[in-house]
Each structure stands twice: as structure tokens, then as C-alpha cells.
Structure 1
Amino acid sequence: MAAAPDSPLYLGLDFSTQQLKVVALDGSLAVLHQDGVQFDSDLPEFRTQGGVHIHPDRLTVTSPVLMWVKALDLLLDKMKRAGLDFSRVRALSGSGQQHGSVFWRRGASQTLNQLDPDLSLHQLLQDSFSVSDSPVWMDSSSGQQCRALQAAVGGALRLADITGSRAYERFTGNQISKLRGTRAEDLDNTERISLVSSFAASLFLGGYAAIDYSDGSGMNLLDIRRRSWSEVCLEATAPHLDRLLGDPLPSMSVLGPVSSYFVRRYGFSESCRVVAFTGDNPASLAGMRLQQGDVAVSLGTSDTVFLWIQEPRPALEGHIFCSPVDLQAFMALLCFKNGSLTREEIRNRCTGGSWEAFSVTLRETPLGNGGNIGFYFDTKEITPPAVGVHRFASDDSESHLSRPAGGLLESSGGGPGSGGGPVPVQEASC
């Protein structure tokens, strides 16, 4: 049954790695509208591949923060042209890719509070960020900072006991520490540090949105039991960091009314409320309505497996986050970096970009593949911390065609001087 023309609507947005998506629901959770903006194709001027820039060292991975801003401009304009009545929206919330960080330049809060509705967000905020390219979850360039943080708190297991995870390169605390050590002037010029989720909420709020407990758990900075910043972790990362982060709050918190910018430019109601945004993984747990004992597997740009738990037991592998829906519960998660982008690269190489042709080839392959198996780590993996493509035959010997990240195959039959030179990637079989 179609919703009444004046019935309330609720918006959910997802600032993911490759696109910005939106869904509009009515009070019974029926989907009335959905749309999206693909970063690579809809915003080609930013020259991303898979929504990111992989730098020459192949460890540093970033996304242009203004790309996310401009994507929101495009998405809201598309929704307006489609006839969505924003005045019906009673509340909005959303999610963002975990571990991405946004550094707001000094004076940005005043800009956010005085947005001119005659101009796009992209125009208004182009000078509001002290770091133009945001580190994202695929980044693994802060190993030195990870080791320093673990040493400062008493070891990897102690850090995991406090924050839910040992030190990981992509986690925001270690990215802040790297910025402090390599570009201190940019950190000095920073007024506020957001996660992608709280950054997105800030755009709608017209002021800095707080980091929520659940997404904040993926920073190596939050004490997951006390649900507040860990003083020892803050001190080991950067001076006066608590001022740059603000106070964290529950993931279901109502932050306040939508900014007057959206009221005047798009026709939102002044009574529309902005609910805290959270990370995409915690949002998946909430959206799937997981309960204790449930386990979910998500195959996306990263692949994850996660579950609801009551008692945190942090370890050296995997992560424990605060639950986004229950202040007494937690979620456990394993994340694998080489997900859909790796699968798409193999599809493109083997079947010219066609999933249909790939499926045919897969069906024609005997079950078990003759005992042959491959591990594909185009970028340095999280668990295990490996890189390259490694193929093994049925006798467990490594195939002569194994490829390091970077687009070449090489012989694994010998070390230096063995004569096993690089082989073009197109010569590889799937």
C-alpha cells in the first residue's frame, strides 16, 4: 500500500567507500525512494578508482574529502528532481566507512553555522579542511605509530584490552599520530577531527557532530568499557587531543535539528532531527537486527564477519566495538581488506568484466578445483598481514605463477638469480 502523501519519512544515508547511497522509508519501514552517487563515474574530476587514491607506496590510501561533500550535493539534487518532498522527513541518520578521518580547518565551525543556501556545500566548504585527502580504512602506512602506541600503553594485548583492538594502521588514532609526526602544521591548523560518520552528520547539523561510541571504538582511542576516551592513548597520540575529538556519545543519540541551510535550500522541515551517524559495520549489525548468538557475514568493498556479544574478550586479532543499539553489549568483528575490489579485478582479467561469463566459467570448473587454491591480497591484508597473490597446487607447493601487488606475476620457483623474471599479468590463468 502506498504511503499517504503527507505521512512522515525517514532518511538513511551511507557514505561508503565507492558511493554515497540514500534510502527513504515510511513509518512501517517500507522503502519509498532510493538513489546513489558513484564516486568514480559520477565525480570523475576526483580521479578515484574504487572511491580511493592508492599512493605510489601502495600503503597510503586516501579519498578526497571534498568528493564526499560534492556527492551529497549531487544526491540531494537528484532526490529533489525526483520529486521527494523533504518537508515530510522527520529524522535522518546514516553510516560512514569506518576508520576514515576528516580534519576540519580552524574556523570551519563558523562556516558550517553560516551556510549560504544559494551556494552548494562543495563551494561553501572548499577551504574548510586542513587535510584535503582523508586517510581511509585501506591505509596501512602508520606501522611506526602503531608500535609506538602499543609500547606506550604496555603492549598490544593491553591496548586491545582497553580499546578493543591491538594497534591497526588504519585506525584513526594512529593516523593522527602519523600526521603529527609528518605534517605537524596541518594538525596545528585543525579545529576538529571527525570520523566519516560524524563528518556526514556535521554537514546536516550545521555544526560539529559528536563521535558515537560504536564507530569511536575503531580508533584505538576509546576505552570500550568506560565508553570514554582513554587518557593514556590520547597522551601517546597527540597533545590536547580530547579538545579535537569532543565528547563521544551513544549511537542512538538525537544530535539536534537539521541545519537551516537544508531547510532553505531543499525544503526540509525545521523539526527534522539529525540522529547520530555510526560506522558502516555497526550500522549493519543494527540494520540486520542481530541478537546475542547471531553471526553475520558481509561481502563488500571489505569482507566482514561480526556478531553480538555481551562480554568483551579482546585478543590480538579481530576487533571489539561497543554495540550501536545496546549500551550494555558489544560486537565482535573480523575485517578482510581484499573484498569486492579484488574480486572485480579477477573478474575483469578473466572474463572481460562480465559476472555472467565468470559464473559460466565457475560452473564449468570441477568442484574443489582439483585441489588448487589461491589467496589474493592486492593490498596488504589485515588478517593475515600478507600481500600479493599466492597460488598453491594440490600437493601444497606454491604455483610458479604468483603475483605481488602491483600488477605483475612473478615466478616463485626461486630467489634472486633464479631466472624467474616477471610475467605480464594477462598471461595468468584464473
Structure 2
Amino acid sequence: MAEHAGRRCCLGWDFSTQQVKVVAVDAELNVFYEDSVHFDRDLQEFGTQGGVHVHEDGLTVTSPVLMWVQALDIILEKMKASGFDFSQVLALSGAGQQHGSVYWKAGASQVLASLSPDLLLHEQLQTSCCLDRGSGANSPHHTGPLQPSRTLLRVPPSGISSWDVMPPGDAGKACFSISDCPVWMDSSTTAQCHQLEATVGGAQALSCLTGSRAYERFTGNQIAKLYQQNPEAYSHTERISLVSSFAASLFLGSHSPIDYSDGSGMNLLRIQDKVWSQACLGACAPHLEEKLGLPVPSCSVVGAISSYFVQRYGFPPGCKVVAFTGDNPASLAGMRLEEGDIAVSLGTSDTLFLWLQEPTPTLEGHIFCNPVDPQHYMALLCFKNGSLMREKIRDELASSSWSEFSKALQSTEIGNCGNLGFYFDVMEITPEIIGRHRFSAENHEVSAFPWDVEIRALIEGQFMAKKIHAEGLGYRVKCKKKFPQGLQRLPRSLRSEPSRE
């Protein structure tokens, strides 16, 4: 208890796909407390796998909104039991999985403003899905039964879709129009994407306007699907939040605004002037602007913490709630990138984060408003064939040994004597292409390389592609040394090889 007492701090929250996590950071930026709730492990009653419900169509992917709320309850109660001194918390902020959306039912704002400190949050925000079987099974968007929910909720009969509307007044304080919310893994909105692009003049026009062409996971297209397939649920919605602004709303006790940076991942925000695009709003659903509210800069203080947290946990009334943002913008801020910087995250998919001053939106990648400097931008590029592709070549050619893989790199020259390869065993995102493609120094396509040439061709090809696509978005490579995330996924020789810039 003494360890957590009398230490002025800020709290950082992460509402990610698989868990909710908190860290406490003191004035010297030391992390002295952290905890998490893993959805699949700690909240098994919601029946998620990887934190989500994958529906029968294989395209619709959702998460139970109350699961996120209950995870927050659990962490706060654990902090309280450990003796954490909430009175020393000066401010809090956080991140949420990008693109996911939450639909607050009419009357939810009154519930948020009048929470009882005697009850947990999820007990007061609980929803009910008590509908007759036919309304769900016959709905045009039905994709399968709702997964088992929290025992304190009334579980819908088999055949009721998680996107079915809950009638007004049902369950008293039901606060959400739909109980399972679409998340970034959802790919069920292709028709809505085509509709949006057609409305504004095509994919490139939409990219110039909002920073990205239409993507199925982007929130505007998810909203359009809900409006088209369940207009009753949409009409009963008073506010639509992103996962980030939803989390901030819980702490604020009122609807928190969407921030510029996370709002850039909706296909709705004009990234140049940072207002909602009327053309995009109109293409998605009516009265959408009033349901979204006005966006704010990502560094905005959106208000003081709700009296609920003051009374139940002992937060100081002056504790500031800073706008939450998306997980990708938060990564750029957390890595302290500056103008001209680039960060590479090496994982199952490789991701590039770029700080841009003058972006050039294209059909590949994404341009977001910069979360640190609202006058600048950030770019995000994702490459699907990342570590698994490297590991596959390692297994095929280097006896599953990174040591042998490293020897091959050390035995070949930088530039690979002009031999070049691109390796996409699964359909790539940037660009959309599949297959292994090898080119000799004479620019002839060949069917195979010697094993050591193949290994260098893989690595150089991957990073050449990253450089080319980054420059396509307006980035200019500078001679600055950067350290990729996920270096443990690469052989030691690649980590230490000198830059060619």
C-alpha cells in the first residue's frame, strides 16, 4: 500500500482488442503501477475469442460493449484493493482500438451524469436484448446468435442477432442501441464502401478528402450498414462514439468528443480543415453530424473526471480527462516521433508510422491528423507479409535457423548484385498482389535464386517496398538513425547491418 501512496501521477488506459490495460506514470515518467484484464481469460462469460465474436458469415466481427465496461470495473476495483492512492492522479488519458464504434441509446447521457457510487459501472449501463425470435432471425443483417453474455443480462433466444435494436425503456437503464459493436476486424461493409466512394467521385477523391479510400473497417461504412439494415437502432441512438471516445466518456460522465486523429480513421473527417465532410455524412446516414458531435484536437482536455469516480474511488475532483485517441496515433505519440521520423513495427504484419508535414493521399495507406501537432499529419502503411513471410523463407532455406539466415546475409553484398525479389504468400495489402516475384540484374523475371541470394532479396525487397510506398505518401527519407520495433523477430546480422542511406 505504501508503494502506491502519495505519488502524484497520471494514468494511461488502453482499450485494445484483447484487453483493457492501465499504467500509472509519475512525474519522472517512471511506470510504478500496471494491470490488465484479458477478455478471453478473465471475462469468459462473454464467449469471445481474441476479444471478439466472429459471426457466421465470416465477415461480421463484433465485441460486447459491456465487456469493455466490466473490464474497467475489475481493474479499478483491483487498484482500490491494492491501496492505490487515486487522490494523487492529476490527469488520465488513453487509447482505443481504432475504427470500432459504440452506439449510445437515447437517454444514456442522463445515466452517465447520475451514476451511483454504490454500484459498478456495468451494473448501471447494462443492456437487455429481450426480443421475440422473429425480429432477429428475419432481419437482413442476421449472421448468427449472440454469444453468451454476462450472467446479469438476459441472454437473447437462439437466432437473435447482436445488432438487433433494443426497444426504448427495455431494462430501465439500457444505454446502448446495440450490445455488440463492430470492430476493426469487420469486413462486412463492401457495399457501403462502394456507395461512399461513388458519392464523392471515386476512391482517390475520398482519399484526398479523408486521408484514405473506403475501407470496410472504417467507421463511416459501419454506421451506414447499421442505418441501412437496422434503422430503428440508428434512430434510437443519441451519440456514436469511437472506442477511444467511448472510454473517455466513462471517465467524463458525459459524451466525450472524438479527437481529430482517431476521427481520421472513419472516412468521414476532412483532414485538411478537420471538420466532418457533409458529403460523406450524407452518404452514410441522416442526422449523423449531431450523433457524432464536434471533433477536437487530440491533446484537448475534455473535462474533469466524473463525480462517480471521485466518490467511489477517491479521485480528486480536479483530475483532468484528456481526449483519448486511437491505438495507432497513440503509438506515434508514445514513440515520440518528430517531423521527418519513421518507425517500423515488425510483426505478423509490418507497419510503418510516418510523421508528415505535406501529405500526398493515395489509394494505398492512410493519412491521419497528427495527434501531437494538429498542423501536421501522420501516415500509416501496413504490409501483410511480415514476420511470417520472413520465418517461412528461413524455414525453407536456412534449416529454420536464424543463425544460418544471418550467414546468408553476411555472405551476400548489399544490393544483391542487382537481384530483386518480392514475396507475398498471402494477398498483400500494399499493394494488392500475391505470389513470389524474382528479377535478375538484367531485369528478367526468373523462377528461383540461389538460397543466399533469395534471403537477401527477401529482406531488401521488403524494405525497398516500405521506402517506395512511404515516399508515395509524401515522406522523404533523411539520414537519421531509427530503431524498428520488433527487432527480436529478426536475425542479429540484420539488426546491426549499416544503413545504405
User: Normalising by the residue count of structure 1, what TM-score does the alignment of the two structures yield?
Assistant: 0.81
1:314 Cα shift?
Answer: 0.3
2:246 is aligned with 1:203: no
- Out of 329, 332, 343, the residue aligned to residue 282 of structure 1 is 329
Offset from partner CA, 1:157-179 (integer Å, 9 cap, x none): 01000000000100000000011
Distance 1:169 1:294, change over 3 A: same
RMSD between superposed Cα atoms in Å: 2.9
Number of aligned residues: 378
Q: Which residue of 2 aligns with 1:321?
A: 368
- Residue 82 of structure 1: aligned partner: 82
1:101 paired residue number: 101
Q: Does 1:231 align with 2:278?
A: yes
CA distance in 2, matches of 1:148, 1:318: 20
Match of 2:168 in 1: none
1:72, distance to aligned residue in structure 2 (A):
0.3
Match of 2:158 in 1: none
Answer yes or no: is the 8 Å Cα contact 1:63–1:136 preserved in 2. Answer: yes
Q: TM-score of the superposition, structure 2-length normalised?
A: 0.70
Structure with larger Rg: 2
Instruction: Kindly state the Cα deviation for residue 185 of structure 1 after the two structures are TM-superposed.
Output: 1.1
Give the conservation status (yes or no) of the 8 Å contact 1:14–1:94: yes
Aligned pair 1:253/2:300, yes or no? yes
Between Structure 1 and Structure 2, which shows a larger proportion of strand residues?
Answer: 1
Partner residue, 2:180: 133
* Distance 1:68-1:337 versus aligned 2 partners, 3 A rule: farther
Q: For 1:392-417, what per-residue CA distance to the aligned partner results, in whole angstroms no more than 9, with x for missing partners? A: 999469xxxxxxxxxxxxxxxxxxxx
Q: Paired residue for 1:425? A: none
Match of 2:139 in 1: none
Contact 2:338–2:355 (Cα < 8 Å) also in 1 = yes
Q: For residues 382-401 of structure 1, what are the structure 2 equivalents within 5 Å?
A: 382-384=429-431, 395=447
Could you tell me which of 268, 278, 286 is aligned with 1:221? 268
* Structure 2 unaligned residues grouped into runs of 5+: 128-174, 393-398, 410-419, 439-445, 450-501
Deviation at 1:6, TM superposition (A): 2.5
Question: 1:67 aligned to 2:67?
Answer: yes
Q: Give a deviation string over 1:136-193, Cα, whole Å, max 9, x none.
A: 1111110100000000001110100000000010000000001111111111111100
Matched, 1:147 2:194: yes
Verify the 8 A CA contact 1:138 1:337 in the aligned structure 2.
Answer: no
CA contact (8 A) 1:3 1:26 kept: no
CA contact under 8 A between 1:214 and 1:324: conserved in structure 2?
Answer: yes
1:226-255 CA-partner distances (Å, limit 9, x unpaired): 100011111111111000000000000001
Residue 143 of structure 2 is matched in structure 1 by none
Q: How does 1:260-409 map to 2 (within 5 A)?
A: 260-299=307-346, 303-336=350-383, 361-363=400-402, 375=424, 382-384=429-431, 395=447
Tell me how far apart the structure 2 counterparts of residues 4 and 22 of structure 1 sit (CA, whole Å): 14
Residues 329 and 366 of structure 1, relative CA distance in 2, 3 Å threshold? closer
Specify whether residues 152 and 184 from structure 1 end up closer, same or farther in structure 2 by C-alpha distance, changes over 3 A only: same
Query: How far apart are residue 337 of structure 1 and its match?
Result: 6.6
SS of the aligned residue for 1:321 comes to strand
Q: Separation in 1 of the partners of 2:224 and 2:386?
A: 28
The Cα of 1:335 is off from its aligned counterpart by: 3.0
Shift of 1:292: 1.4
User: What is the letter of the counterpart of residue 13 of structure 2?
Assistant: L
Superposed CA offset, 1:174-215 (max 9, x none): 000011111111111111000000000000000000000000
2:277 aligned with 1:241 = no
The answer to whether structure 1 residue 166 and structure 2 residue 213 are counterparts is yes
- For 2:437 and 2:54, the matched residues in 1 are separated by 28
Q: What letter corresponds to residue 211 of structure 1 in structure 2? A: I
Match for residue 414 of structure 2?
none
**Structure 1 pair 338/194, CA: closer, same or farther in 2 (3 Å)?**
farther
SS at match of 2:77: helix
- Identical positions, percent: 63
Aligned in 2, Cα 1:396/1:230: closer, same or farther, shift over 3 Å? farther
| 1:316–1:36 CA distance, 2 compared to 1 (3 A) | same
Amino acid of the structure 1 residue aligned with 2:104: W
CA distance in structure 1 between the partners assigned to 2:18 and 2:262 by the alignment: 19
Counterpart in 2 of 1:37? 37
Alpha-carbon distance in 1 for matches of 2:309, 2:424: 47
Mapped partners of 2:4, 2:222: distance in 1: 48
SS in 2 for 1:290: coil
Distance 1:137 1:376 in 2: 23
For structure 1, the 5+ residue unaligned runs are: 348-359, 398-430
2:329 & 2:345 partners in 1: Cα distance? Answer: 12
Q: Which amino acid aligns with 2:94?
A: G
2:70 match: secondary structure: helix
What secondary structure sits across from 2:220 in the alignment?
helix
Distance 1:208 1:70 in 2: 18
Q: In structure 2, what is the Cα distance between the partners aligned to 1:302 and 1:195?
A: 24
Instruction: Determine if contact 1:191/1:244 at 8 Å carries over to the other structure.
Output: yes
For the Cα contact (< 8 Å) 2:4–2:83, is it kept in 1?
no
Residues 25-59 of structure 1, C-alpha deviations (whole Å, 9 max, x = no match): 11111111111111110111111111111222221
Mapped to 2, the partners of 1:319 and 1:122 lie a distance apart of: 35
